[in-house]
Structure 1
Amino acid sequence: MPTVAASLAHDLSLALRLADAADAETMARFDRADLAVRLKADRSHVTEADLASERAIRALLEQERPSDAIFGEEYGQTAQAARRWILDPIDGTANFLRGVPAWGTMIALEIDGSIVLGVVSMPALGRRWWAADGLGAWTDGGSEPQRIAVSGVETLGEASLSFQSIGQWRDAGHLDELLRLQDRVWRDRAYGDVWAYMLLAEGRLDIVGEFDVKEYDIAAAAAIVREAGGRFTSLEGSDQLDTLSAIATNGHLHTAVLEALAEAAE
């Protein structure tokens, strides 16, 4: 009987193939003047590349893992099962449709309610990251895959923060908390979308926070950040990913960040 690690290794191999399939669809359409775009009911954009990418992933999953459930941003949930693949075919669609290369496909596997695997592919930047429980977090940034880990920064005064966008924090009613946290850290920038989490997993950032996020927006990133040694919770400190908020840190800073945000809210 295969071990859990061996089973996850097979799933991870498949997830990387899923990312290859998605990359083929997205890169064929990236920066195209004739890209078809429409607004969804929530006023966010969806392009033909989002749809084609998710269809390609689903087709391969239906062939390779027909008994698994699938939950994707564009085509929703299919069935119920102990194993569920969570997909964001293009995280950063606004960047994609403007020709900005900071966007990526996110693929995660959830087993019995726990995220155990994540792949993030950013083909326009020529980068990919992946992780699975007990197998480490990795990137292909060099000639050979390199294991990655979060930073060792232990004080807010030395920390680098990515807050995604001022408007997002304002709309969530937490702008004052962000501004007070910003006053306590060394540096702040809005790198945006999934790339910020990957910079955190590599040890280049120390804190990332955002709001109005669905499971497919963060599941793969959470798997990679956690396996790289970081923490990924809601604003309230929950490990669940369906709370519409995300606070990720290198782990050393997590309690201090949550406390600072809670103090500012009082």
Structure 2
Amino acid sequence: MKGYAADIALAHRLADAADAVSAARFGALDLRVDTKPDLTPVSDADTAVEQEIRALLAAERPDDGLLGEEYGEQPAAGPGGRRWVVDPIDGTKNFIRGVPVWATLIALLEEDRPVAGLVSAPALGRRWWAALGEGAYAGPDQASGAPIQVSAVADLADASFCYSSLDGWEESGRLPAVLQVMRDAWRSRAYGDFYGYMLLAEGALDIMVEPELSLWDIAALVPIVTEAGGTFTDLAGQPAPGDTGSGGISAIATNGPLHTGVLARLGRAPAR
């Protein structure tokens, strides 16, 4: 296999294993939910999915590093700076409330650059995946995947604008700017988490923004959006993911033609 084909094939096998665990626990009456130190929820499905992925990667790619939301960092043993980044269930709040919009996010990074990503949403019966220079695809599985592409919408007045929530934008001081973009756009909806980015990659909407994320929230999404023809930066206009420290990562993802205008509106420092 050339390029990242072997890595994408492995990502699908990891997703198969993850889906078997998460789908079985979705809607389970005995689902256990705890609260992490940052006050976000974690279910027994989150931890079980990450454990399954860790075990498979240890067997198939023992030299690669791994960062997971629930169990932290495992440094790479081999050269090249390769590491996998995993969010076992993105959309845990949806998962525990019975909302089917949640997914396992799997990314491969080389020297901190996302080069391959896969998003698997078994309750929606859909996956999205991409690798650097190899295009972006979606479908129920790898065998039946089809290429996807962002929209060609060039005017904000014709654009569908998506966001996850408004709380973070209020905390950042940028809420007035976000609200004005919403007023100027053709349509605005808060699909949230991974899903807005995947709809963007498929051309179903045109802009997706979030003010603060962790690396595992975003790493798998970047290759899918960019290989579908979109643009993905942080609020400073730098290629995402940007800051991976305690300050978190911001995201502005668009179809490309709309990016400069949205970045100018939301990226400028708020008045104090």
TM-score range, shorter chain: over 0.9
Partner of 1:104: 103
Distance, in Å, in 2 between the alignment partners of 1:15 and 1:36 is 27
Quick one: distance in 2 between partners of 1:202 and 1:245? 22
Q: Deviations over 1:77-131 (max 9, x none)?
A: 1014610100000000000000100000000000122110000000001010100
CA separation in 1, counterparts of 2:132 and 2:258? 22
The one of 253, 262, 267 equivalent to 1:257 is 262
1:60 to 56, 61, 65: 56
SS in 2 for 1:10: helix
How far residue 140 of structure 1 moved from its aligned partner, in angstroms, is 0.8
Q: Report the Cα distance in structure 1 between the residues aligned to 2:25 and 2:155, rounded to whole angstroms.
A: 43
Q: Does the alignment pair 1:245 with 2:241?
A: no
Kindly report which structure 2 residues correspond to 1:219-238, keeping only aligned pairs within 5 A, or say none. Answer: 219-238=219-238
The number of residue pairs the alignment matches comes to 262
* 1:198-217 alignment runs, 5 A limit: 198-217=198-217
SS at match of 1:180: helix
TM-score, normalised to structure 2's length? 0.92
1:124-203 counterparts in 2 under 5 A? 124-140=123-139, 144-203=144-203
Question: Unpaired segments of 5 or more residues in structure 1?
Answer: none
After superposition, the CA RMSD in angstroms is 1.6
Greater Cα offset, 117-126 or 169-178: 169-178
- Counterpart residue number, 1:70: 66
**Correspondence 1:38 to 2:34:** yes
Partners of 2:116 and 2:131 within 8 A in 1: yes
- SS of residue paired to 1:258: helix
8 Å contact kept, 2:232–2:240: no
Hey, which bits of structure 1, 4+ residues long, moved more than 4 A?
none
Alpha-carbon separation, structure 2, partners of 1:52 and 1:262: 38
Alignment of 1:115-126 (within 5 A): 115-126=114-125
1:141 is displaced (CA, Å) by 5.2
Quick one: distance in 2 between partners of 1:86 and 1:264? 30
Whole-angstrom CA distance in 1 between matches of 2:267 and 2:139: 37
Q: Distance in 2 between matches of 1:254 and 1:213?
A: 19
Q: Per the alignment, do residues 74 and 242 of structure 1 end up closer, same or farther by CA in structure 2, a change over 3 Å counting?
A: farther
Inter-partner Cα distance in structure 2 for 1:20 and 1:242? 30
Distance in 1 between residues matched to 2:27 and 2:12, nearest whole Å: 24
Shift of 1:242: 4.0
Q: Structure 1 residues 145 and 262, CA, compared in 2 at 3 Å: closer, same or farther?
A: closer
Contact 1:84 1:111 in 2 (8 A): yes
Gaps of 5+ in 2: 244-248
